[in-house]
């Protein structure tokens, strides 16, 4: 088990393995996304209250889920890198930050587009919108810190500390904002056994959620590969790789 | 060899002495606090009704910015003359020493804000009933600002231009304090009980008092490596 982990977490092995895995994840992602979009846009019935415009939910809700999921991945990977000094964990944390920020931005943008016809306004200072906005600020802080420090490994460790501080703060921010002001509709489903959403809408939502996860995996692996090459540029295997491509 | 606690006191005394020797610098964040607050009547309106309704938020946002501006001096001079490295290398517990530095910093930057705030409250026609709450929220809130801010300073102390970056890192983390504190003062101005918000602020204070020194110590070790 440990031997496997050590082997997997070596940058060289990761580079080779991820190269083989990315196409698989990519095709599965495409399949799930096409199925989710088909079911979401054509099969699911229009909402009795919101008509057709609710369909943006199939992008909005998975993006919002991913925005929090990616932050957790980033913080956990950062923590692992901080404690065990595993290079690969640092790489994953560093390459997750921009993706998570993009998901957060996507959730905010689709939320604004959805809010205009439903609430009659692009933006309200509602609890969940506000905490999503603050999450975006936290991401931007991590990205800014990461790019401000020259030495990549120091940068990774510093942003890992910041991400972990953010993890402690996220629930506090979330509940303080919720207490401050709320207008948002209740969570789409809180319990899996009794969701407040019809099954015909739940299926495309879950398909899209899986597609978004797979999309994240593909993009994070691609980014991590570039990051690994950059960080390991002085090692012999990278130089051999470069020579192979040159000839 | 001195115990951890006496090292804490020595560091506290040293930082307070240093601050006392540079008295003029200490006034700057306070002047900033006063000027920012006095800009709002000029920018919005001189009507007492309008000012009254924004007073808690304005005072608290100004306090937040003043606290953030004063943060830079927390580790800067010690970092530049190398004494920060000596502190980190010492055999004493770094989180405790950090706590001493933050306490000294709060005593010279946070405490004066609390003293000044009631006068700014008068300038903005804050009702007398809210005055005590304003002082209480500042007394509970500004230490949190110093403690959480210290994490950001420790992360950026090695950078040449850490100033703007620091605000980007620290301000989002200040939001819960702002919400509870300004909320409490608002409620007090309307004559509602505010115990709930004060308890929340006290909880935030105890949380940051126990956790932040460790994060600061970890961040300092990274910045110094």
In this prediction, residues B182-206 reach a mean pLDDT of 90
Q: Which domain holds residue B195?
A: 4-224
Give ∠ CA B146-A142-A235 in degrees, rounded to 5.
130
Task: Give the three-state DSSP class for A47.
Answer: strand
The pLDDT, as a whole number, for residue A181 is 64
Tell me the pLDDT tens digit for each residue of A112-161.
Answer: 888 888 888 888 887 778 889 999 999 999 999 999 888 888 999 999 99
Cα A119 to Cα A60, A113, A142: the distances in Å are 16, 10, 32
Chain A with chain B: Cβ pairs closer than 8 A: 67
Report how many domains make up chain B.
Answer: 1
Say if the Cβ atoms of A148 and B204 lie within 8 Å: no
pLDDT above 90 for B158: no
Helices (H), chain A: 2-8, 11-38, 57-84, 87-119, 127-148, 152-180, 199-231, 236-246
Distance (Å) from the alpha carbon of B149 to chain A's nearest alpha carbon: 11
Which of A126, A145, A153 to mutate against chain B (most B CBs within 10 Å)? Answer: A145
Q: Which residues contact B31 (CB under 8 A, 6 or more apart)?
A: none
Residue among B148, B175, B218 minimizing CB distance to A134:
B175
Tell me the pLDDT tens digit for each residue of A191-238.
Answer: 444 556 777 788 889 999 999 999 999 999 999 999 999 888 888 888
The pLDDT, as a whole number, for residue B65 is 93
The pLDDT, as a whole number, for residue A196 is 64
The pLDDT, as a whole number, for residue A191 is 43
Residue among A140, A166, A177 minimizing CB distance to B168:
A140
- Comparing alpha-carbon positions, the chain A residue that sits nearest to B180 is A176
pLDDT above 90 for B137: yes
Say if the Cβ atoms of B180 and A164 lie within 8 Å: no
pLDDT above 70 for A172: yes
A172 CB near a chain B CB, below 8 Å? yes
Cα distance between residue A214 and residue A209, in whole Å: 9
Question: Which tokens hold the place of A105?
Answer: 């931005």
Contacts of B155 in chain A (CB under 8 A): 145, 158, 161-162
- Comparing alpha-carbon positions, the chain A residue that sits nearest to B183 is A180
The pLDDT, as a whole number, for residue A188 is 53
The pLDDT, as a whole number, for residue B39 is 92
In this prediction, residues B1-13 reach a mean pLDDT of 86
A151 CB near a chain B CB, below 8 Å? no
What mean pLDDT, rounded, does chain A reach? 86
DSSP lists the bridge partners of residue A196 as: none
The pLDDT, as a whole number, for residue A23 is 93
Least confident of A29-38, A217-226, B2-11, B110-119: B2-11
CB B170 within 8 A of CB B91: no
* ipTM above threshold 0.90: no
Say if the Cβ atoms of B179 and A82 lie within 8 Å: no
Helix (H) or strand (E) holding B160: none
| Radius of gyration for chain B, computed over Cα atoms and rounded to the nearest angstrom | 18
Contacts of A176 in chain B (CB under 8 A): 175-176, 179-180, 200
Cα distance between residue B22 and residue B19, in whole Å: 5
CA atoms within 13 A on the CB side of A230: 12
pLDDT above 70 for B27: yes
Distance (Å) from the alpha carbon of B171 to chain A's nearest alpha carbon: 9
Residue among B168, B183, B222 minimizing CB distance to A144:
B168
Cα A76 to Cα A27, A82, A170, B194, B216: the distances in Å are 27, 10, 14, 37, 19
Most confident segment among A44-48, A97-101, B71-75, B180-184: A97-101
Residue A91 binned pLDDT confidence (cut-offs 50, 70, 90): very high
The pLDDT, as a whole number, for residue A183 is 46
């Amino acid at each position: 088990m440990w031997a496997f982990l050590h082997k997997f977490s070596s940058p060289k092995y990761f580079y080779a393995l991820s190269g083989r895995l990315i196409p698989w994840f990519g095709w599965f992602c495409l399949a799930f996304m096409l199925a989710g979009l088909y079911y979401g846009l054509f099969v699911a019935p229009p909402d009795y209250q919101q008509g057709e415009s609710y369909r943006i939910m199939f992008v909005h809700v998975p993006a919002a889920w991913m925005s929090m999921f990616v932050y957790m991945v980033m913080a956990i990977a950062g923590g692992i890198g901080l404690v065990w000094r595993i290079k690969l964990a640092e790489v994953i944390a560093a390459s997750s930050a921009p993706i998570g920020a993009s998901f957060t931005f996507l959730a905010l943008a689709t939320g604004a587009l959805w809010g205009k016809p439903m609430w009659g306004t692009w933006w309200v200072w509602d609890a969940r919108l506000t905490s999503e906005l603050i999450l975006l600020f936290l991401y931007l802080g991590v990205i800014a810190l990461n790019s401000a420090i020259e030495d990549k490994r120091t940068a990774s460790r510093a942003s890992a500390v910041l991400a972990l501080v953010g993890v402690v703060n996220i629930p506090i921010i979330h509940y303080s904002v919720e207490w401050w002001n709320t207008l948002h509709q209740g969570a789409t489903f809180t319990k899996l056994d009794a969701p407040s959403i019809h099954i015909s809408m739940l299926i495309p939502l879950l398909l899209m959620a899986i597609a978004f996860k797979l999309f994240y995996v593909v993009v994070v692996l691609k980014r991590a590969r570039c990051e690994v090459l950059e960080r390991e540029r002085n090692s012999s295997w990278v130089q051999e790789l470069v020579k192979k491509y040159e000839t | 060899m001195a115990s951890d606690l006496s090292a804490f006191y020595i560091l506290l005394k040293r930082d307070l002495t240093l601050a006392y020797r540079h008295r003029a610098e200490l006034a700057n964040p306070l002047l900033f606090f006063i000027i920012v607050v006095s800009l709002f009547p000029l920018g919005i309106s001189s009507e007492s009704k309008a000012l009254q309704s924004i007073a808690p938020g304005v005072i608290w946002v100004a306090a937040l910015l003043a606290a953030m501006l004063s943060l830079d001096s927390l580790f800067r001079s010690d970092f530049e003359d190398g004494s920060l490295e000596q502190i980190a290398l010492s055999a004493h517990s770094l989180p405790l020493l950090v706590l001493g530095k933050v306490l000294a910093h709060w005593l010279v930057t946070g405490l004066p804000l609390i003293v000044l705030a009631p006068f700014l409250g008068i300038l903005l026609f804050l009702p007398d009933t809210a005055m005590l709450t304003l002082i209480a929220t500042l007394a509970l809130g500004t230490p949190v600002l110093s403690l959480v801010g210290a994490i950001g300073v420790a992360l950026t102390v090695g950078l040449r231009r850490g100033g703007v970056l620091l605000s980007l890192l620290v301000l989002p983390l200040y939001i819960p304090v702002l919400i509870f504190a300004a909320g409490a003062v608002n409620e007090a101005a309307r004559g509602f009980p505010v115990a709930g918000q004060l308890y929340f602020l006290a909880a935030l204070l105890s949380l940051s008092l126990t956790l932040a020194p460790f994060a600061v110590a970890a961040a300092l070790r990274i910045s110094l490596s």
